[in-house]
């Protein structure tokens, strides 16, 4: 084991004391690849074997909790920021390099979800109805975002507020997701539209929408 490895293990153990744990089954400390940034670790709840790669930034606050379940991986320079809302990332899910995940209206990511690099998950919108007021002073709305188990979010995808993505869905690279996505759908484009369903699955009779 080289010095860098040793230091990062010592740091991870030290940090372990300030994080919260999801439950009392959690015994395995996180792995830190290099320098990472954390805020309000008492509101960051970890499962076993969570991995933070170099530059990962996880910012909770006094109101917003961030829950990272067993075997979650936060890749290089990804930013997870609660901004007053709760964020849950389920078991074995991963957030790719340089992705940003904000929490305002709440974000719930299921298990085995792959979020590729450069994605933006943004559960809030500024009000724009009153043209006499700067948008920065209009009230914002935040409904939250859900991503079902086993979904794959391609690189550079943007997911907007209020969207619920079903289980096993595929979101094509570069898509902007503005509407709900049914289970096992493959969607792509700006705005994202259904290309087809994964083999063996068909469209539900009534596609749930926002
Ligand atoms: C969505 C995706 C899985 C679809 O793959 P596929 O089923 O093989 O789809 P096809 O290549 O047969 O394309 C079907 C149609 O959708 C279009 N399409 C595919 N991906 C698209 C995308 N990301 N955005 C817009 N249109 C897309 C194709 O141009 C094609 O259109 P056409 O029928 O008019 O020619 C794939 O294109 C994709 O985006 N993968 C993500 C890759 C990635 O982000 N990797 C990161 C590593 S984790």
User: Domains of the chain, with CATH numbers?
Assistant: 3-197 (2.160.10.10)
Query: What pLDDT shows up at residue 153?
Result: 98
Ligand 1 atom nearest to CA at 174:
23
Q: 171 CA distance to ligand 1 centroid (A)?
A: 9
> For residues 74 and 122, what is the distance between their CA atoms, to the nearest angstrom?
17
Q: 174 CA distance to ligand 1 centroid (A)?
A: 10
The whole-number average pLDDT for the span 53-82 is 97
Q: Among the listed ranges 6-20, 82-96, 171-185, 189-203, which one has the minimum average pLDDT value?
A: 6-20
Contacts 24+ apart (CB under 8 A), 7-15: 8/32, 8/33, 8/34, 15/41
Query: What pLDDT shows up at residue 208?
Result: 58
202 Cβ neighbours under 8 A, 6+ residues apart: none
Query: What pLDDT shows up at residue 2?
Result: 81
Which residue owns the Cα nearest ligand 1 atom 9?
195
Per residue in 121-154, is it b (16+ CB within 10 Å) or e — as a string?
bbbbeeeeeeeeeeeeeeeeebbbbbbbbbbbbb
Q: 41 CA distance to ligand 1 centroid (A)?
A: 39
Query: What pLDDT shows up at residue 97?
Result: 98
Which residue owns the Cα nearest ligand 1 atom 34?
195
- pLDDT bin (cut points 50, 70, 90) of residue 206 is low
The sign of the CA dihedral 126, 127, 128, 132 is negative
pLDDT at 199 over 90: yes
pLDDT at 14 over 90: no
The whole-number average pLDDT for the span 48-55 is 96
The whole-number average pLDDT for the span 153-167 is 98
Identify the residue with better confidence: 55 or 19: 55
Ligand 1 atom nearest to CA at 186:
1
Query: What pLDDT shows up at residue 29?
Result: 86
Query: What pLDDT shows up at residue 107?
Result: 98
Query: What pLDDT shows up at residue 46?
Result: 96
pLDDT at 141 over 80: yes
Query: What pLDDT shows up at residue 207?
Result: 55
The whole-number average pLDDT for the span 167-193 is 98
Provide residues with CB under 6 Å of ligand 1.
114, 116, 154-155, 170, 172-175, 186, 188-189, 195
Predicted structure pTM score: 0.92
- pLDDT bin (cut points 50, 70, 90) of residue 114 is very high
């Amino acid at each position: 084991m080289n010095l860098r490895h040793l230091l990062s293990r010592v740091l991870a153990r030290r940090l372990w004391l300030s994080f919260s744990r999801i439950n009392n089954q959690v015994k395995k400390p996180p792995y830190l690849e290099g320098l990472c940034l954390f805020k309000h670790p008492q509101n960051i709840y970890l499962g076993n074997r969570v991995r933070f790669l170099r530059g990962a930034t996880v910012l909770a606050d006094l109101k917003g909790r961030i829950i990272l379940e067993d075997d979650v991986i936060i890749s290089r320079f990804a930013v997870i920021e609660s901004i007053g809302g709760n964020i849950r990332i389920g078991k074995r899910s991963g957030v790719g390099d340089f992705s940003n995940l904000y929490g305002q209206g709440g974000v719930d990511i299921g298990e085995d979800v792959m979020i590729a690099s450069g994605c933006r998950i943004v559960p809030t919108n500024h009000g724009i109805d009153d043209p006499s007021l700067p948008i920065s002073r209009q009230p914002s709305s935040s409904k939250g975002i859900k991503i079902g188990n086993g979904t794959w979010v391609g690189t550079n995808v943007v997911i907007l507020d209020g969207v619920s993505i079903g289980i096993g869905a595929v979101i094509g690279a570069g898509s902007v997701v503005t509407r709900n996505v049914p289970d096992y759908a493959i969607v792509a484009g700006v705005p994202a539209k259904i290309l087809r369903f994964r083999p063996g699955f068909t469209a539900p009779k009534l596609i749930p929408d926002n």
